[in-house]
């Protein structure tokens, strides 16, 4: 199996197996454009993120052998659970956010889907303010506009979660 070399933004080099590297649409496009022997430069990817991504693929292969299913091809509930358990614990919110950005940049569909699921789970328990901070979003509603939304969808805004 051919190995593809990539270099992350902080100068570290990683060797990926070809079929794994091809899961990234970005790397795939680069490979088509440039020679396969060149090192691919990933200026928007940090080395810790690359480590996580490789960890992900190893995990997927383990789970595939365990459950005997090709997870890449089907979306499976058990996989989501097992994946969440493994990946959720040591990723801080900010790290998850960065990883999400990077994985989107690299165009790795499967991992992106799962990370979005993780991110969605985390958003559920957050206050509005902390969500805004996390996603770098500007509050652009006037108090009247916001009040209107809260009134129209009042069923959604009652409930046990913490409010702003």
Partner 1 sequence: MAKKRKISGSCNMANRNKRIKKEEEVQSQNTGGMVVDTYTSQLPELVINQIFSHLSTKSAIRASILSKEWASVCSSVLILDIDEDEGKKQSADHRDRRRKFLKFLSNCLKIREKEKYLEKFRLRMSYFGGDCAINKSLSFALERNVKELDICFKRENEVRKGRYYCLQQTALNNAKSLTILKLEYLKIEEDSIDTISLPSLKTLSLKAVKFMTNTGFSRLYSGCPSIEYLSLTSCHGWDVRLSSLGLKHLEILCCEIKLKVEATNLESFKFRGDNGLRHHIIDMRKNFYIASCQTLRSLEFSHAHFAIGWFKGLDSRFPLLERLVLHTCFSYSGIINIFSQHLKSFVFHECGNILSNFSMTAPNLSEATITIEERRDYDRLRNFLGNFDCSKKIRLHVNETEVCIFPEEMRKKYSPPLPSLKHLEVEIDTFTTVVTHSALMDSLRWMAPSLEFLSINRIHYIYDSRIS
For 117, the token pair is 């699921």
Nearer to partner 1, 92 or 136 (CB): 136
Stretch of residues binding partner 1 (CB under 8 A), selected from 14-22, 51-59, 69-77, 154-162: 154-162
Exposed, middle or buried: residue 132 (CB in 10 Å: 0-12, 13-18, 19+)? Answer: middle
Taking the complex as a whole, how short is the minimal distance between the CB of residue 116 and partner 1, in angstroms? Answer: 4
Applying CB under 8 A, does 141 fall inside the site for partner 1?
A: yes
Nearest to 133 by CA among 106, 105, 94: 94
Beta-bridged to residue 17, according to DSSP, are 3
Site for partner 1 in 20-39 (CB under 8 A): 25-26, 29-30, 33
Taking the complex as a whole, how short is the minimal distance between the CB of residue 82 and partner 1, in angstroms? Answer: 16
Beta-bridged to residue 42, according to DSSP, are 8
Taking the complex as a whole, how short is the minimal distance between the CB of residue 58 and partner 1, in angstroms? Answer: 22
Alpha-carbon separation of residue 94 from 90, 131, 138, 155 (angstroms): 11, 11, 17, 30
Stretch of residues binding partner 1 (CB under 8 A), selected from 12-20, 57-65, 83-91, 134-142: 134-142
Q: How far apart are CA 84 and CA 107, in angstroms?
A: 20
Nearest to 14 by CA among 54, 44, 63, 43: 54
Nearer to partner 1, 1 or 73 (CB): 73
Q: How far apart are CA 86 and CA 159, in angstroms?
A: 30
Taking the complex as a whole, how short is the minimal distance between the CB of residue 20 and partner 1, in angstroms? Answer: 19
The footprint of partner 1 (CB under 8 A) covers: 9-11, 25-26, 29-30, 33, 40-41, 43-44, 97-98, 100-101, 104-105, 107, 112-113, 116-117, 119-121, 123-124, 128, 131-132, 135-141, 146, 149-150, 152-161
């Amino acid at each position: 199996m051919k190995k593809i070399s990539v270099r992350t933004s902080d100068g570290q080099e990683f060797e990926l197996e070809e079929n794994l590297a091809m899961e990234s649409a970005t790397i795939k496009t680069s490979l088509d454009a440039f020679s396969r022997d060149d090192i691919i430069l990933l200026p928007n990817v940090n080395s810790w993120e690359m480590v996580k991504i490789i960890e992900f693929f190893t995990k997927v292969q383990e789970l595939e052998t365990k459950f005997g299913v090709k997870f890449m091809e089907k979306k499976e509930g058990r996989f989501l659970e097992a994946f969440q358990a493994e990946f959720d614990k040591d990723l801080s919110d900010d790290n998850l956010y960065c990883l999400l950005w990077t994985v989107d940049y690299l165009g790795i569909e499967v991992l992106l889907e799962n990370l979005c699921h993780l991110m969605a789970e985390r958003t559920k328990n957050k206050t509005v303010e902390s969500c805004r901070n996390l996603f770098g979003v500007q509050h652009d509603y006037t108090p009247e506009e916001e009040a209107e939304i809260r009134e129209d969808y009042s069923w959604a805004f009652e409930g046990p979660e913490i409010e702003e």
